[in-house]
Amino acid sequence: MKDKLIITCAISGAEVTKEHNPSVPYTVEEMVEAADAAYKAGASIIHLHARFDDGKPTQNKDRYQEIHNAIKKRCPELIIQVSTGGAVGMSREERSDVLNIKPEMATLDCGTLNFGGDEIFVNTENDIIYFANKMNELNVRYEMECFEKGHIDTTIRLIKKSIIKGHLHYSFVLGVNGGMTGEERDFIFLKESLPVNATYSVAGIGRYEFSLAELSIKHGGHVRVGLEDNIYIEKGVLAKSNAELVEKVVQIARKYNREIATPKEARIILGMGEE
């Protein structure tokens, strides 16, 4: 069971647009179709950013609830992991509004990062504590997004203070402008910096998506792919869908004899369900 591969699909993001790739979903119907196809391809977790029909990102709980309910109606087994990252420039309160729908899972960003140009993705220590406390209160399982090693060190301090608790599941987000690159040395450094018994997933941005996916699969970790992170199936060739990106990960997993986890199995691996 513990050796099975959890695939997360980040279907929409907050920054990528249809101008980048026409398959990026905006509407509720497009989100449902993308989530359903990714699930059928092998994803057990959908990482969700809400968008309005014109593509504008939002953390509005009502919009999230609408999308969440529509996906669950089509795919009741899926784990929906909402984003508390939102978009650059959103306030702490705005970003956390989504937690009021009491999702099963959410991301917890664990440090500030330059996002290229003048953009700064701000996550102060007090922000992290605020989000962790709210997720604890609402019984939301968090995946700790770490863009560099200092972010892991921050979580370890907060674990010792019992602010971050429960099963420890990390996501290494590598290849972002301003963060760590996605070379093998970066992956190994972060993997070896984790607390004992933690699980982890890897999200490689752009050209790092599949090389990091293969590294994580080989080392027993888990994988996130999706149009939020990478719009290409191979160099210069746009992906036709989120599902196509998931299918490529499934093919890589076969090389290493890693079976794909169902949502039920993913819940057990992440301490969200019973054996």
pLDDT digits (tens, 9 = 90+) for 144-192: 999 999 999 999 999 999 999 999 999 999 999 889 999 999 999 999 9
Please report whether residue 226 resides in a domain.
yes
Please choose, from the candidates 131, 88, 83, 135, the residue with its C-alpha nearest in 3D space to the C-alpha of residue 112. 88
CA distances from 141 to 20, 71, 135, 243 (A): 32, 19, 7, 25
Give the residue numbers spanning the domain of 18.
7-269
Q: How confident is the model at residue 84, as a pLDDT?
A: 95
Please report whether residue 1 resides in a domain.
no
pLDDT along the chain (275 residues), means of 10: 92 95 98 98 98 95 97 98 88 92 97 90 96 96 97 98 97 94 97 97 97 98 98 97 98 97 97 70
| 202, containing H or E segment | strand 199-204
Q: How confident is the model at residue 274, as a pLDDT?
A: 53
Please report whether residue 237 resides in a domain.
yes
Q: What is the CATH number of the domain that holds 163?
A: 3.20.20.70
Please report whether residue 118 resides in a domain.
yes
Q: Where are the alpha helices (DSSP H) in the chain?
A: 28-41, 61-74, 92-96, 125-138, 149-160, 184-191, 209-219, 242-255, 263-269
Instruction: Yes or no: say if 78 and 72 are a contact pair by the CB < 8 Å rule.
Output: yes
Q: Domain total for the chain?
A: 1
Please report whether residue 275 resides in a domain.
no
